Structure 1
Amino acid sequence: MASTKRRDMWTFITLGIFILYLLVLVFPLFTLLKESFNKGGAFTLDYFYQFFGKKYYYSALFNSLKVTIAVTICAVILATPLAYIMTTFKIKGKLFLQILILISSMAPPFIGAYSWILLLGRNGVVTNFMKDYLNIHTPDIYGFTGILIVLTLQLTPLIYMYLMGALKSIDNSLLEAAESMGYTGLKKMVKVVIPLIVPTLLAGALLVFMRALADFGTPMLIGEGYKTMPVLIFNEFISEMGGDDGFAAAISVIVIILALAVFLVQKFISNRKAFSMSALHPIKEKQEKGLKNILGHLYVYGFLAFAILPQMYVIYTAFLKTSGRVFVKGYSLESFKLAFERGGDSIFNTFLLGFIALFFVVLIAILIAYVTVRRRNTMTNGLDVISMVPYIVPGSVLGIALLLAFNSKPLLLSGTAAILIISFVIRRLPYTIRSSAAIVHQISPSVEEAAASLGTSNMKTFFRITLPMMLPGVISGAILSWVTIISELSTSIILYTAHTKTMTIAIYTEVIRGNYGTAAALSTILMFITIVSLLLFFKLTGKKEVAI
């Protein structure tokens, strides 16, 4: 009887979370799908005919594919040797470099776009220097080129973090055997290492593809007419001439189908190539000599310079005097003063909404991680799948889905802080779920069985024994969720109101208005919060890197 009650308790918790997902994720996506086929109360395919019937619209799909494929390929090409060098070479300042690489990936992509505009825009500091002193006209940073540069530098560290974990699971004896057969240097990497890390490479590439596909701020700021799907969705949904909800919903459905197709193809290939590795003798870094050592250092430091220096320049400009859109000689804290005057509410909202969302992220992730690992059945398997759906749903699409679903009574949430919190929780839960589930796998069930044999209730065992052992994984995922919550733009740009504006919205608004000093100051504050959060992550977990 007691075991039935215990089983019923966890079943009730699982059912409750499942219903919650049905309400805040499945129902909005179903509403979005229904809206895409509905015109004047009747079923229609007119919106899809409209999209594929005009080049203006379907060209955005090709633009998005061009950007995402190019960014994914470039990120893979850059990240693979970067991870290999950082794993096998003794690189000076490696610990500090790893932290900087991580920081470069955690800032919002649109800040990277803004920083490149300051450097290589029409009035950028590098552009002016090259023109005035060397009489050289630099290539145009706007359009496809700018989007490619910004997103590649922003997303390469994601694949790098995946690959670092995979490389550490390769047994060094494999590399020694390859060397004994004459495979050294680049040949060893191509013929031996890369085939071993293909599943991980595909997982990282998928994440980069999804991030690039969903990004709104970068093409909006630096694209200059180069429309991608998130920009098109935003423009069609929030139009000065009156947006068309049904058409925006149809475009969103096309994006979801595209993302789902890529996800399924990646899963199919990964499953075909999947295998497990256990390194009894992990790869050891070696002190290389001569040209090899020089090239290794140049590659790592060169990548990091391109990835982090633009953001460092934004921090520098935050302390410059400004006159409208122009930075003038001299230093001042005026931009920070204006940032707190104009964006004080947005800073407060970022912390308030972020912490509330984080509370629910941690609570729900702990429960989902436990039931999907320890209580495997049809319902928990379904919950495991549905909790990962936000990976393939772009932020702008989710924002529209939530607005369409919760725009009338009795579920009138549009314009409230609640709808923003819901979007934060849905989109960022997977980070904490994955890290929490990973650590539950490491906790032996015999510990809980021992407590049960002593008469301890199931729930008491969970809270007294299992949960404390889960905390390192929970904290790890929670801090990563927090960092991504405070840098969220694509969903909040659709859901926010004047009373719920966050820092990312404030930065984006100031850039659009040409208040570059204020935008730089707000960006600096946001990057400072991000860096402090990551340092806290390293302190609490004892790690010096992030495993994804």
Structure 2
Amino acid sequence: MAFRSEETKNRLLNLLKDPVLLITIIIIFAALAIFIIYPIFKVFSASLTNRSGQFDLSAYTKAFSNRYMRQGFFNSLLVAGLTAFFGMLIGYIFAYTINRTDIPFKGFFRTVAILPIVFPPFIGALSIIMLFGFNGLITAGIFGIRNFPVYGLWGLMMAQVVCFFPVAFITLDGVIGTISPTLEDAAFNLGANRWQAFRKVILPMSIPGIASTMLVLFIESLADFGNPLILAGSKFPVLSVQAYLQITGMYDTRGGAALAVWLLFPSIVAFIIQKYWVGKKKYVTVTGKPTTSVLKSVNRPVKWLLFSLCMLMAAFTLTIYATIFWGAFVKAWGMNNTLTLENFRYVFDVGLEAIKDTLIIAFTSTPISALLGMVIAFLLVRKLFPGRKLMEFTSLLSFAVPGTVIGIGYILAFNTKPFLLTGTLAILVLNFVFRYVPVGIQSGVALLNQVDPAIEEAAYTLGADNRQVFTRVTLPLIVPAFFSALVFAFVRAMTAISAAIFLVSARWNLITVQILSQSDSGRLSEACAFSVILIAMIMAFILVLKIFLKNKVSLSGSESMGQG
């Protein structure tokens, strides 16, 4: 204990010697407290106190005694669990097939596997209605079925798995890709067959990645709002939607807050398990990867079976998104398929302000979120200071908190002085900044752990201070992580709905809210047109960013060669 106290004292003394670093840490802690912890606290506070400010559990007893609400909680867990399993399974099949077989079109499958990430999550739900609904292209148009249960568990599961399996693929692609095929060679040399090599070598080494992936998908699905709002239906209540309806429909803030707390607990538990237990467990191999092992991992029939499964999922995924583009150019989906541009005229007539607002909010929040992520990552990896673990946990916490909870929290926290932000641009920007900063932090931490600290130490030796080292040495070295954070923050800001739907106002609206509004009104073609405009803006941003990054790298390389 004395040793720890002495260590803490030394860290404080070092901080006092660098006031810029100290002020930066204080500001970040204050920002995390105000914009992450305080809203969550307000949700708890609202659910536990009555109008007189007295402690009161009636909101919880009312929620628990309501059979419909209890069913919503169990439905949320059911959908999250099924999404975690099937999303992981499909992601694993894609990752294993790409890394362990010599199938053709690997680049195509890899592209399709990550395609849903850049699309708004609820667009899949919209497309599933158009394909399998009452006038669905597949159910009604091809099979003549008009009573397919698209609203409820089956429709919602299709949307969730399509939306979230790319998250599983990205993680598992890295996991399987780092398992050396020479380990399978050793198993073959010891007399194992292909199934035994997979079951006793590849699968056990994949388990930490599988567990981590399932927990992440569980959190993502539990927090999702857009797909359940469109597809859950009245007979299949989901808690995130019920909390929203409790506030906006019933005007019961306490009841909505109680449901939000109910939803928060499994998310936080899954996040802690994933981050601090499963996330620490991994196997690493450092040997080479001879091509012969890749070819021997599966026999010919299994290879083509895996290829067929990947092709089937790829075809379904492409159909989902192609349907959106087709729907944007027809007069009335399912009733009048005459090609027209009227839907886009409608978009720019009715939704032009929402488009402008969305771009302003995204372009304002994106660089702030990405830069803040890099600063926090730098502090976590390169600096020792009291409360470092607390900063890490708090800054990553918003990843685990469902958007519904964040939205309710921001309404409660910033609706009165001294933080009166309701209805302003600031509340939307701040929501996006602190909601999506964890990705920048994780990207920055991962890359900084691969950068030799000796490079920064050399700069300190030459007389540079912390600000100069970060801006001139560290930040240029983590440019890839910075741009990854930029892309993610922009895409999420453009496609967010769960928290943002609570925060929009007459002055500031979002395209995603317009899409949901059009869907609720039965104007599916107009909703598709809004979606196409949204997708086009996202793809244009990513393309421009890639060109900029490529030119920047080329320019840096030319300068280095000139200096050399």
Classify the TM-score, shorter chain.
over 0.9
Residue 337 of structure 1 pairs with residue 345 of structure 2: yes
1:224 to 229, 233, 238: 233
Q: 1:91 to 1:337 in 2, by over 3 A?
A: farther
Q: Deviations over 1:259-287 (max 9, x none)?
A: 1223334456526x814403331474439
Q: Which amino acid aligns with 2:61?
A: Y
Residues in 2 aligned to 1:498 and 1:87: alpha-carbon distance in whole angstroms? 50
For the 8 Å contact 2:94–2:113, the answer to whether it is kept is no
The alignment partner of 1:514 has SS state of: coil
Q: 1:31 to 1:360 in 2, by over 3 A?
A: same
The alignment partner of 1:412 has SS state of: coil
Residues in 2 aligned to 1:187 and 1:529: alpha-carbon distance in whole angstroms? 48
1:312 to 316, 322, 335: 322
1:290 offset after TM fit, Å?
A: 4.0
Residues in 2 aligned to 1:356 and 1:268: alpha-carbon distance in whole angstroms? 33
How do 1:75-154 residues align onto structure 2 when only pairs under 5 Å count?
Answer: 75-132=87-144, 139-154=148-163
Moved more, 458-467 or 356-365: 458-467
Residues in 1 aligned to 2:149 and 2:196: alpha-carbon distance in whole angstroms? 37
Residues in 1 aligned to 2:278 and 2:528: alpha-carbon distance in whole angstroms? 42
Residue 17 of structure 1 pairs with residue 28 of structure 2: yes
For the 8 Å contact 2:370–2:489, the answer to whether it is kept is no
Residues in 2 aligned to 1:326 and 1:71: alpha-carbon distance in whole angstroms? 29
2:40 to 14, 23, 29: 29
Q: 1:201 to 1:7 in 2, by over 3 A?
A: farther
The alignment partner of 2:428 has SS state of: helix
For the 8 Å contact 2:343–2:526, the answer to whether it is kept is yes
For the 8 Å contact 1:168–1:283, the answer to whether it is kept is no
Residues in 2 aligned to 1:74 and 1:467: alpha-carbon distance in whole angstroms? 38
Q: Which amino acid aligns with 1:277?
A: V
Matching residue of 1:297: 307
**Sequence identity percentage:** 26
Q: Which amino acid aligns with 2:21?
A: W
Q: Which amino acid aligns with 1:233?
A: A
The alignment partner of 1:25 has SS state of: helix
For the 8 Å contact 2:351–2:511, the answer to whether it is kept is yes
Residues in 2 aligned to 1:137 and 1:398: alpha-carbon distance in whole angstroms? 38
Matching residue of 2:560: none
Residues in 1 aligned to 2:79 and 2:366: alpha-carbon distance in whole angstroms? 32
Matching residue of 1:280: 287
Matching residue of 1:481: 489
Matching residue of 1:434: 442
The number of aligned residues is 533
Q: Which amino acid aligns with 1:195?
A: P
1:415 to 420, 423, 428: 423
Matching residue of 2:73: 61
Matching residue of 1:160: 169
Residue 458 of structure 1 pairs with residue 469 of structure 2: no
The alignment partner of 1:330 has SS state of: strand
Q: Deviations over 1:425-444 (max 9, x none)?
A: 11110111111122222221
1:71 offset after TM fit, Å?
A: 1.2
Residues in 2 aligned to 1:281 and 1:420: alpha-carbon distance in whole angstroms? 48
Q: Which amino acid aligns with 2:106?
A: K
Matching residue of 1:362: 370
Matching residue of 1:545: none
Q: 1:186 to 1:503 in 2, by over 3 A?
A: farther
Q: Which amino acid aligns with 2:174?
A: G
1:537 offset after TM fit, Å?
A: 6.2
Residues in 1 aligned to 2:211 and 2:549: alpha-carbon distance in whole angstroms? 27
For the 8 Å contact 1:336–1:518, the answer to whether it is kept is yes
1:473 offset after TM fit, Å?
A: 1.2
For the 8 Å contact 1:233–1:396, the answer to whether it is kept is yes
For the 8 Å contact 1:130–1:138, the answer to whether it is kept is no
Residue 7 of structure 1 pairs with residue 18 of structure 2: yes
Q: 1:269 to 1:178 in 2, by over 3 A?
A: farther
Residues in 1 aligned to 2:96 and 2:290: alpha-carbon distance in whole angstroms? 10
1:221 offset after TM fit, Å?
A: 1.0
Q: Which amino acid aligns with 1:149?
A: M
For the 8 Å contact 2:15–2:21, the answer to whether it is kept is no
The alignment partner of 2:478 has SS state of: helix
Q: 1:267 to 1:366 in 2, by over 3 A?
A: closer
Residues in 1 aligned to 2:382 and 2:328: alpha-carbon distance in whole angstroms? 50
- Give unmatched runs, 5+ long, in structure 1: 543-548
1:459 offset after TM fit, Å?
A: 2.0
1:199 offset after TM fit, Å?
A: 1.4
1:381 to 351, 370, 389: 389
For the 8 Å contact 2:225–2:498, the answer to whether it is kept is yes
Q: 1:283 to 1:541 in 2, by over 3 A?
A: farther
